[in-house]
């Protein structure tokens, strides 16, 4: 539910971009003009644009749909009021209960690595603030997200509903079990680090689907697990540091 990138020299994400571009027909609107934005809203929008340009695009994220989602989702809405002025900094921020909202670059990198198409069904393990889920909600048809900390799940559910993400479904529970009722998933993102990938997540991944997950206890590596007809193909991407995944089995030292 939160991560800080430790080293960036090995990042090579551009070659992994899916490049899905969805064509959206825009008709003339008969509704009343939107009310003018406040000075604070204008400043936050400008900060969000700088975040995308300087922290995301400049560092190799080139999937047009991911960049568009990051420009649209208001990260400041997912952090506590005391952290709002820091919402668009390139760092994780505390959200309570020992958890954090992930560094924006990590959210972008995981979203790009997942290669999510507009018709995809996606599972997220570790809702946290709900920010990654909102980004996924911009990319996929349906998003199912699980959070083990009940107050965080409730808060994220409220924030996502307030922002209009009707395609994002929040459940309080243990992510080790996944969400079998809605499997198989075209992509699965895990935002906390297990010592080993829970078998249920592999089982719920569609053939051709991609599981993006940080794996490890003290030393962690962001990995992409792709389900093939003959089994699971694993690619290591770069070192990361996430909060540990809780619930399920106790990890080995």
Hey, how many other C-beta atoms are within 10 angstroms of the C-beta on 29?
8
pLDDT band at 169 (very low <50, low <70, confident <90, very high): very high
pLDDT of residue 30: 47
**Does residue 61 belong to any structural domain of this protein?**
yes
Q: Give the whole-angstrom CA distance, residue 85 versus residue 61.
A: 24
Residue 20: pLDDT over 80:
no
Question: Which one of the listed residues 29, 102, 111, 129 is annotated catalytic?
Answer: 102
Q: Which residues of 48-87 are buried (b: 16+ CB within 10 A; e: fewer)?
A: beebbeebbeebbbebebbbebbeebbbbbbbeeeeeeeb
**Does residue 15 belong to any structural domain of this protein?**
no
Q: Give the whole-angstrom CA distance, residue 229 versus residue 251.
A: 29
Residue 16: pLDDT over 50:
no
Do the Cβ atoms of 61 and 67 come closer than 8 Å? yes
Residue 249: pLDDT over 60:
no
Structural domain of 51: 3-8+39-242
Mean per-residue pLDDT for 177-187?
97
Residue 36 DSSP code? P
List pLDDT tens digits, range 24-47. 333 434 455 666 777 877 889 999
Residue 21: pLDDT over 60:
no
**Does residue 14 belong to any structural domain of this protein?**
no
pLDDT of residue 29: 42
**Does residue 28 belong to any structural domain of this protein?**
no
**Does residue 83 belong to any structural domain of this protein?**
yes
β-strand pairing of 205-215 with 220-228: antiparallel
User: Catalytic annotation on 31?
Assistant: no
pLDDT of residue 137: 98
pLDDT of residue 40: 77
45 exposed, middle or buried (CB, 10 Å; 0-12, 13-18, 19+)? middle
Q: State the total domains in the chain.
A: 1
pTM given for the model: 0.84
Q: Which comes out higher in pLDDT, residue 244 or 33?
A: 244
Q: Give the whole-angstrom CA distance, residue 216 versus residue 139.
A: 28
**Does residue 168 belong to any structural domain of this protein?**
yes
Residue 22: pLDDT over 60:
no
Hey, how many other C-beta atoms are within 10 angstroms of the C-beta on 241?
17
**Kindly report the CA angle at 126 between 106 and 105, in degrees rounded to 5?**
10
List pLDDT tens digits, range 123-151. 999 999 999 999 999 999 999 999 999 99
Mean per-residue pLDDT for 173-201?
96
**Does residue 34 belong to any structural domain of this protein?**
no
**Does residue 119 belong to any structural domain of this protein?**
yes
Spell out the residues 6+ positions from residue 218 whose beta carbon is closer than 8 angstroms to its own: none
Bridge partners (DSSP) of residue 172 are 147
CATH number, domain at 81? 3.40.50.150
Mean per-residue pLDDT for 56-64?
96
pLDDT, averaged across the chain = 87
pLDDT of residue 25: 34
């Amino acid at each position: 539910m939160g991560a800080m990138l430790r080293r960036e020299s090995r990042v090579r994400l551009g070659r992994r971009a899916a490049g899905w571009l969805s064509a959206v027909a825009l008709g003339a609107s008969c509704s009343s003009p939107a009310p003018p934005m406040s000075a604070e809203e204008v400043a936050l929008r400008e900060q969000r644009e700088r975040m995308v340009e300087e922290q995301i695009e400049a560092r190799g994220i080139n999937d047009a749909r991911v960049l568009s989602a990051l420009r649209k989702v208001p990260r400041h809405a997912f952090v506590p009021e005391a952290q709002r002025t820091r919402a668009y900094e390139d760092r994780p921020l505390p959200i309570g209960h020992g958890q954090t909202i992930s560094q924006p670059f990590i959210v972008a990198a995981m979203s790009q690595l997942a290669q999510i198409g507009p018709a995809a069904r996606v599972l997220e393990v570790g809702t946290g603030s709900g920010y990654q889920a909102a980004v996924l909600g911009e990319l996929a048809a349906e998003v199912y997200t699980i959070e083990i900390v009940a107050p965080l799940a409730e808060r994220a559910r409220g924030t996502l509903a307030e922002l209009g993400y009707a395609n994002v479904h929040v459940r309080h529970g243990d992510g080790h079990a996944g969400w079998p009722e809605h499997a198989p998933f075209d992509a699965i993102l895990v935002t906390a680090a297990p010592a080993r990938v829970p078998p249920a997540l592999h089982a719920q991944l569609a053939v051709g689907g991609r599981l993006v997950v940080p794996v490890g206890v003290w030393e962690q590596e962001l990995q992409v697990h792709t389900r093939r007809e003959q089994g699971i193909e694993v690619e290591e991407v770069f070192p990361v540091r996430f909060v540990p995944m809780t619930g399920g089995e106790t990890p080995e030292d």
